Structure 1
Amino acid sequence: MKIDWEALGSVFGVSLVSTVVVVGLFAVGVVALSKQESAAGGGGGSAALARTGAYACFALCTAAVAYGIYLIVT
């Protein structure tokens, strides 16, 4: 039995980077939602921008997870 260490390292690296990106995007979305609550008292424009940014981050997280599931299934 021979282990392809290069392929194993490649899979590990891609998994690590994609995990950090998805978790980071989710964290930015949560922070944007919390900023939206604090910005709601100061004016409607920044609150709407924060909400839109948060939804965009959550949509990107959902797209990344859906793509991962697609890769596993096919």
Structure 2
Amino acid sequence: MNIDWAALGTVFGVSLVATVSLVGLFTLGIVGLSKQTAAAATGGSAPVARTGAYACFALCAAAVAYGIFLIVS
């Protein structure tokens, strides 16, 4: 049994980058929602923070949907 270490390293690297990116994007969405409540309390621009948070969540959902598409096809 031969293991293709280069391919295994590539899969590991891509998985690591994708995981860190998705977690970071989701974290930005959570931070955006928390800033939205803080901005609403101080009279700031709450819609901008909410829109950015929803955009982060939409990108996360799109990335997950694309991953499921790649698995199924």
* TM-score, normalised relative to structure 2: 0.95
Task: Return 5+ residue gaps in structure 2 as ranges.
Answer: none
Q: Determine if the alignment matches structure 1 residue 63 to structure 2 residue 65.
A: no
List structure 1 runs of 4+ shifted beyond 3 angstroms: none
The Cα offsets for residues 36-60 of structure 1, whole Å up to 9 and x where unpaired, read as: 001012336x100000000000000
> For the aligned residues, what is the CA RMSD?
0.9
Task: Return 5+ residue gaps in structure 1 as ranges.
Answer: none
Give percent identity, aligned residues only: 74
Q: Distance in 2 between matches of 1:30 and 1:41?
A: 17
Aligned length: 73
Q: Distance in 2 between matches of 1:34 and 1:42?
A: 13
* TM-score, normalised relative to structure 1: 0.94
